[in-house]
Amino acid sequence: MEKEIVFVTHNTGKIKSAEKYFKNLKFTTFNYELDEPRSDDIKEIAKAKVKQAYEIVKRPCIALDTDFRIDELNGFPRAFVNFALDTIGIQGMLKLMENKENRKCSFNECLAYHDGKEIHYFYGKHPRKFIKESSRN
């Protein structure tokens, strides 16, 4: 019997990330923008979101949060990726990385699953190298 989990999100692209963790489960999307606490801790954000999601759907559900960390910039922008893109943009981040030898960065994700009793966490880390120039010039 296939189990179903509700994914409460307005970002349906996040379903693809969730499917990596739960290959034998069916996801139903409940389109809703959850409140997001101001934090750079993706576990804290995912926990708050999944608790709110469970209160809405009253069924087992998941929430996912991601961050982007650039080693040379002490982990900037962390969970504030959208804020960084909205303020300094890709060109601004490239400017911050000018003449930096250490190009290591990573995309990280925390998926929180709430069954009504407990919250379980699943993590993904995807190491990369920061680009030297944008293809959007």
| Rounded Cα distance, 56 and 68, in Å | 29
β-strand 61-70 against 25-30: which pairing, if any?
unpaired
Q: Specify the residue for token string 């601004």.
A: 92
| Rounded Cα distance, 31 and 120, in Å | 22
Please give the positions annotated as active site.
65
